[in-house]
A and B are shown apart, each in its own frame.
Chain A
């Protein structure tokens, strides 16, 4: 029906997808989609392309649009090219009260980009934070490549970002 090159998916990613597919009944293979997209995005340095989504659709055997729907719904999937390291600085209520906004400002100044942008070298992506990341006890906080960093100070932020390859 739709011809797409599922060869775009690495052998490792295929193995991961197969593992997830095995967990669900054959007629519910859509359930493996989240895990598949996560793996493929990870291998592609943090974002999905239409070709990769088509490849996932072909590999799992889903209509392409079903993959686009899921990838565009979840905030952890990026469907446009972004920097390698994903940084989300929380500015929700608790973090805001504890200086989250100035942390964000600091990150923006350090990287020279605004929230929602990536650095020209493709290294960093300052993601638009969607909602509270549920770490109010350690406010202000940020998430870098899925790792939480709490009780932030400008120095601590510098140290964390400086330590990224």
Chain B
């Protein structure tokens, strides 16, 4: 049953049934198979799945029910008082065996070359219920395979038409891509017209498929189930912290599959979490330390590398600045900040795309949902502001979708009108410069509707749209306001959060901060921000903005151009520095030109440590495989550097010891909620006929170094593009045709590209994907100017 919100049933709602002579208590109306599953009584099945609707089309779960004339499917038979069920009687077993015989009629005997072989539900059940000899002598049905994209491989002759994948598309992914076309013996599962699956959750059909019809394309033919070793780890891309198994052969991660955890990812994972492991085997992995001497890179041993790093850090002293990926582990953040602060510097940062730090002193202890993921489902209204959880945190979007399907209004206030896989109750799409006005207007409308004074004292105007939203929110008890990536990247972040904080205070609603990366929460708790130490300890005010130029940079797991708000400024700062020490899993051309020293570190499944997810849960994980070459877990590298620098607190023997220290520091913490203040808006109108406001989206498959190196994901549309997206009306106003060559200008910088018509973008604005070659060439800016290539230069 997908409804996880059920409370303990009352006694009067219970019935007593008997299964195989065992008396059982069950909730009235529950399906038999749910009752027997809970009791550990096994009934075979193919089409039944606890997270999907009941289809009852495979008939494998037939059981005998007393006084019923025929065997009944356990997945579609509600329990009734006094019901007597026999799961292993002659009648039940003969029904199950007959079903199996039918299912095997058209199933090919290609188990030896089938990827599902050894972990196949059909194979397993055929062993228990199948006959050794087939009575079927006619020709078997053959179905042509479809190409449904780079992630899922089809072998449709093997399909037994359980329709789990079809139901998944409709019920979970919210995007019906697969269907059952044709009739009778000609039924085929597919997309009918050749097209790729595009859902961000599409890989889950691989797990759902009980046979080898839908298998993983990147994993295909690379290992057998029985050769794999299974290790537990945590997905490293978003604040959900999906629990996953790494399946390993030798020292190679062959695939990632979900590990069931109802509190985080349920039984699902996003395609990003599933296929990003491909980046582990990228040809540009850094295998040994490299050092630049007299402009020439050479490989060196760890001793030389560490000596060089230590010498550079000691020389820099308080001129040291550290930039860490927001998906670093808590232990890495903790040791990194200790190292930086050990040298008397406060310059440590993981918020690499943030440009406005005016709310620094008002931030909560750590940015998170402020509750569990399941609480999102129980919301009675959800407002998504400035972000696209569907791509940024797919499984948070999934929870919101579940609420929406219950009829909960979901309201989106954003600068892009992106597609949601559920109905929105309301949507306000405004240019970035109008976002504060929209939120201010909503705040005022909500204050009016609830009979409270407007916290901004009428500074913002209301309009019919905001009044309508305010009316919708009236009487709601559990409002969740999800603050997405575009708010955090906004130059007015502090203003926007001030307004949102005041809005939440009206009801009160839950302000949930959805941050970039897997461990922004852990970064804050570990002290990876300039103004707070571990466990939220406030530090003496430091000059954080503008940052003082550092003489030495320590980079942890980042690609400067792709991961920072201002790639141009970042590169220039690194170029001017005396020394850049990069702890990196990849030897990129960019680091070749900017770094002085590259230290190879473990990535994803090679690493150990812990993440703090958006629900505030610590999730520790061990290494599933050894890092390649002489690469080491980053916490060990940091420990070695710290110890060699004679700094205190770098003597932890195991990773858990680092964590324990951090846990101890966090154990006795008082709650520290966000205290955002209302700030005056400084948004300015953009001037210039060809000048457009700039909107950013980090493409789902370009969020970090690992996923950028997963070839299968890079073939997906969610990997973004190198184009400037403009609304049809604005294109017309600019006199540009869709696809026209243009030059994008930001100040003195000019980059050539093309325009792409995109109705998602509001008029007068353009969307440029972050972490692309195009974005890497442009300085941070609120606007860009488009000039037709070879044309007008006004």
Listed in ascending order, the chain A residues whose CB lies under 8 Å from chain B are: 1, 50, 63-66, 68-69, 72-75
Contact = CB atoms under 8 A, between A and B. Distances in A.
B450 interface: no
A72 B178 contact: no
Given A1-B419, A63-B176, A68 B183 contact: no
Interface of B: 170, 175-183, 191-193, 419
10 contacts: A64-B193, A65-B181, A66-B176, A68-B181, A68-B192, A68-B193, A69-B179, A69-B181, A73-B181, A73-B182
Contacts of A69: 179-181, 192
A146 B170 CA distance: 35
Contacts of A1: 419
A74 B184 CA distance: 11
A68 B175 CA distance: 15
Contact of A66 (B179, B183, B191, B193): B179
Q: Most chain-A CB neighbours within 10 Å: which of B176, B179, B193, B419?
A: B179
A64 B177 CA distance: 8
A68 B179 contact: yes
Contacts of A63: 170, 175-176, 179
Given A1-B419, A50-B193, A72-B192, A65 B183 contact: no
A65 B182 contact: no
Contact of B178 (A65, A73, A75): A65
A74 B182 CA distance: 8
A87 B80 CA distance: 52
Contacts of A68: 179, 181, 192-193
B419 A65 contact: no
User: 7 closest A-B pairs (Cβ-Cβ)?
Assistant: A65-B179, A63-B176, A68-B192, A72-B181, A69-B179, A73-B183, A72-B182
B144 to A, nearest CB: 15
B285 to A, nearest CB: 39
Given A66-B176, A72-B182, A73-B183, 10 more contacts: A50-B193, A63-B176, A63-B179, A65-B176, A65-B178, A65-B181, A68-B193, A69-B179, A72-B181, A72-B192
Contacts of A66: 176, 179
A20 B332 CA distance: 63
A74 B181 CA distance: 10
A66 B181 CA distance: 9
A15 B178 CA distance: 30
Contacts of B181: 65, 68-69, 72-73
B192 to A, nearest CB: 4
Contacts of B177: 65
Contacts of B175: 63
Contacts of A73: 181-183
A49 to B, nearest CB: 11
A50 B191 CA distance: 12
Q: Most chain-B CB neighbours within 10 Å: which of A1, A65, A74?
A: A65
A28 to B, nearest CB: 15
A69 B166 CA distance: 11
Contacts of B176: 63, 65-66
B778 to A, nearest CB: 30
Contacts of A75: 183
B148 to A, nearest CB: 12
A64 B170 CA distance: 12
Contacts of B178: 65
Contacts of B419: 1
Nearest to B759: A3
A132 B193 CA distance: 31
Nearest to B183: A73
A22 B191 CA distance: 30
Contacts of A50: 193
Contacts of B193: 50, 64, 68
Nearest to A1: B419
A64 B195 CA distance: 12
Nearest to A63: B176
Q: Most chain-B CB neighbours within 10 Å: which of A1, A66, A68?
A: A68
A61 B178 CA distance: 17
B757 to A, nearest CB: 11
A63 B166 CA distance: 12
Nearest to A3: B759
A64 B194 CA distance: 13
Contacts of A72: 181-183, 192
B403 to A, nearest CB: 18
A94 to B, nearest CB: 22
Contacts of B180: 69
A73 B177 CA distance: 17
A63 B180 CA distance: 13
A4 to B, nearest CB: 12
A142 B488 CA distance: 70
Contacts of A74: 183
A65 B146 CA distance: 15
Nearest to A73: B183
